[in-house]
């Protein structure tokens, strides 16, 4: 398939559609799909707005533990649609609404697994934000839960997979034209991230159900630095930049290379940029993942934008014939001048590849949400761009990198036993739930 045809079909959502479908309900095929959102302060609301671009979807429920957030979203929604969604403070009450077909999970990471399993048990399709889970075992639990509910469609929010230029780059990587790929580099340099200022613990705002926000996380006093967006930098709720940005880049890397679990991982870094700010997760980190036929490097740094290949984020597939570098702006192929045999067909083709830019005016998140709705309408999970099994791989690997960082050792993964060689590392696979919440059993 040539580039122009590939991009055209990707934009229209027909590149991977199958001609025959089974329709499982009138609502899925003809009527409006009604959805709710749990956690609507950040990406949960971005996903909601993306779905509302589709006229055949209707938002009927919103849930957040912060009433200030739900008040704000309701005010915004009145400018988009005429109906008034029901507001919930407890997600379990939202799930009891039998009119809801689909749920967006946009909560902090430590809530994903429990809400995900409860949503499936309530019989609703899911769009779940990345990273899929806040631990390795939670990701495995969520995979098993989805397998126990095969009629329900799950899309993981790693939306780069829906992007035409990413899909084309993956096609080139798998074509063999780059030659043997021995190394993949992934990175995120985040110059916008400045040090947080220390803040004292305080009473939570009256509009916030802080006990519900904590959920299964350890009970600790409310602190503004650990709340809303900045929860990402505290181990109780998330995994830092490794799981926040890392899952996007690692997802493309491992999906293109058709790899799942590493043989070994080691990592080094720490609070090297801002040693005195209150964040717990490392602001500087390098991790090496060993797979069967290649290595993958991950690195991140805060307060710096000048990353590898002069790109602040991206993935580089380094082959014997050349290197493909891709980020959210496009991709480029760099030929390996010293070792290319220009009599080889692959090497000759590489010389014809010009830098490719991201199509203007196309939002990849919108392609991603449309893809989920198409899978629901057609009752075909096979067309999902980021289904649960393959979408979970990035989160699992990212958490492995964090485990290696915490232990300070090179750790080895036993895929048959789903355990590390190190007892200390294996103890970090499964989280401990607190405050009366129980880890889902699947």
CATH number of the domain enclosing 148 = 3.40.50.720
Residue 220 lies in a domain: no
Non-local (6+) Cβ contacts of 397 within 8 A are 250, 254, 261, 262, 289
Would you state the pLDDT for residue 355?
87
DSSP 91-113: HHHHHT-TT--EEEE-S-GGGHH
Q: What is the mean pLDDT of the chain?
A: 91
pLDDT of res. 339: 53
CA distance 316 to 408: 26
CA gyration radius, the chain? 22
Q: Examine the domain organization and report whether 414 and 285 are in the same domain.
A: yes
Write the DSSP assignment of 194-207 as a string of letters: -PPPP----PPPTT
* Contacts for 417 with CB less than 8 Å, ≥ 6 apart: none
153 occurs within a structural domain:
yes
21 pLDDT tier (thresholds 50, 70, 90): very low
Could you tell me if residue 7 is inside a domain?
Answer: no
Tens-place pLDDT, residues 226-264: 999 999 999 999 999 999 999 999 999 999 999 999 999
340 plus 378 within the same structural domain? no
- 345 and 374 in one domain? no
In which band, very low, low, confident or very high, does the pLDDT at 140 lie, cut at 50, 70 and 90?
A: very high
Q: Say what the pLDDT of residue 77 is.
A: 95
- 35 is in which domain, residue-wise? 12-161+366-389
CATH of the domain at 411: 3.30.360.10
**Structural domain contains residue 217:** no
Let me know if residue 233 belongs to a domain: yes
Q: Are strands 356-357 and 330-335 parallel, antiparallel or unpaired?
A: antiparallel
pLDDT at 431 > cutoff 60: yes
Residue 230 and residue 104 share a domain: no
- Mean local confidence (pLDDT), 256-284: 97
Residues in the chain: 442
Asked whether residue 46 falls in the same domain as residue 97, the answer is: yes
Residue 301 lies in a domain: yes
Per-residue pLDDT reduced to its tens digit, 371-381: 999 999 999 99
> pLDDT value at position 335?
86
Which three-class secondary structure state does DSSP give residue 311? coil
* Confidence at residue 341, expressed as pLDDT on a 0 to 100 scale: 57
Strand intervals (E) in 255-359: 264-270, 284-290, 295-302, 313-319, 322-327, 330-335, 356-357
Helix, strand, coil % over all residues of the chain, rounded to 5 = 35, 20, 45
Per-residue model confidence as pLDDT tens digits over 24-33: 344 555 589 9
Residue 241 and residue 148 share a domain: no
**Per-residue pLDDT tens for 103-112?**
999 999 999 9
Residues 178 and 311 in one domain: yes
Find the mean pLDDT for residues 141-153. 98
Residues 47 and 92 in one domain: yes
Identify the pLDDT of residue 337.
73
Task: Indicate whether 277 and 311 sit together in one domain.
Answer: yes
Q: Give, in order, the Cα–Cα distances in Å from 286 to each of 33, 35, 131, 193, 303.
A: 43, 40, 19, 18, 16
Is residue 368 over pLDDT 60? Answer: yes
Q: What percent of the chain has pLDDT over 90?
A: 88
Kindly report, residue by residue over 58-70, the tens digit of the pLDDT: 999 999 999 999 9
Asked if the structure places residue 428 within a domain, the reply is no
Query: Do residues 384 and 405 both lie within one domain?
Result: no
Q: Provide the number of structural domains found in the chain.
A: 2
Q: Is residue 435 part of a domain?
A: no
CB 39 within 8 A of CB 63: yes
Tell me which residue of 417, 406, 403 sits closest to 264, measured CA to CA.
403
Q: Where are the beta strands (DSSP E) in 64-167?
A: 86-88, 102-105, 125-128, 154-156
Q: Does residue 154 share a domain with residue 33? A: yes
Average pLDDT on 43-72 reads 97
| Mean pLDDT, range 40-57, rounded to an integer | 96
Those residues with Cβ within 8 angstroms of residue 177's Cβ, 6 or more apart along the chain or in another chain: 321, 322, 346, 347, 349, 350
Same structural domain, 97 and 231: no
- Are 115 and 87 spatial neighbours (Cβ–Cβ below 8 Å)? no
């Amino acid at each position: 398939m040539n580039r122009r045809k590939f991009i055209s079909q990707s934009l229209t959502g027909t590149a991977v559609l199958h001609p025959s479908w089974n329709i499982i309900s009138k609502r899925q095929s003809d009527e409006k799909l009604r959805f709710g959102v749990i956690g609507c302060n950040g990406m949960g609301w971005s996903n909601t707005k993306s779905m509302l671009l589709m006229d055949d979807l209707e938002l009927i429920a919103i849930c957040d533990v912060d009433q200030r957030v739900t008040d704000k979203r309701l005010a915004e929604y009145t400018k988009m649609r005429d109906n008034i969604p029901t507001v919930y403070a407890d997600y379990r009450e939202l799930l009891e609404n039998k009119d809801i077909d689909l749920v967006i999970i946009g909560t902090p990471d430590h809530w994903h697994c429990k809400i995900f399993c409860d949503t499936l048990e309530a019989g609703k399709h899911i769009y779940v934000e990345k990273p899929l889970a806040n631990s390795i075992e939670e990701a495995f639990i969520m995979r098993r839960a989805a397998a126990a509910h095969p009629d329900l469609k799950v899309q993981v929010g790693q939306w780069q997979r829906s992007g035409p230029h990413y899909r084309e780059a993956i096609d080139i990587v798998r074509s063999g034209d780059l030659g043997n790929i021995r190394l993949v580099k992934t990175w995120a340099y985040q110059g916008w991230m400045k040090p947080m200022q220390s803040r004292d613990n305080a009473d939570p705002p009256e509009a916030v159900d802080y006990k519900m926000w904590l959920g299964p996380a350890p009970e600790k006093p409310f602190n503004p630095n650990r709340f809303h967006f900045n929860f990402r930098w505290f181990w109780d709720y998330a995994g830092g930049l490794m799981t926040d940005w890392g899952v996007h880049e690692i997802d493309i890397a491992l999906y293109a290379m058709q790899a799942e679990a590493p043989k070994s991982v080691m990592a080094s870094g720490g609070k090297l940029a801002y040693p005195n700010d209150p964040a717990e997760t490392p602001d500087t980190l390098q991790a090496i993942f060993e797979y069967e036929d290649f290595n993958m490097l991950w690195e991140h740094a805060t307060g710096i934008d000048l990353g590898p290949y002069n790109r602040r984020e991206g993935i580089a597939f380094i082959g014997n014939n050349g290197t493909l570098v891709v980020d959210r702006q496009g991709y480029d192929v760099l030929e390996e001048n010293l070792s290319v045999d220009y009599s080889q067909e692959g090497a000759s083709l590489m010389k014809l590849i010009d830098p490719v830019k991201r199509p203007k005016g196309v939002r990849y998140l919108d392609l991603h949400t449309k893809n989920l709705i198409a899978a629901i309408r057609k009752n075909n999970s096979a067309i999902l761009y980021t289904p649960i099994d393959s979408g979970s791989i990035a989160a699992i690997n990212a958490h492995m990198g964090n485990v290696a960082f915490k232990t300070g050792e090179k750790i080895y993964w036993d895929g048959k036993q789903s355990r590390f060689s190190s007892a200390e590392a294996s103890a970090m696979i499964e989280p401990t739930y607190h405050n009366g919440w129980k880890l889902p059993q699947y």
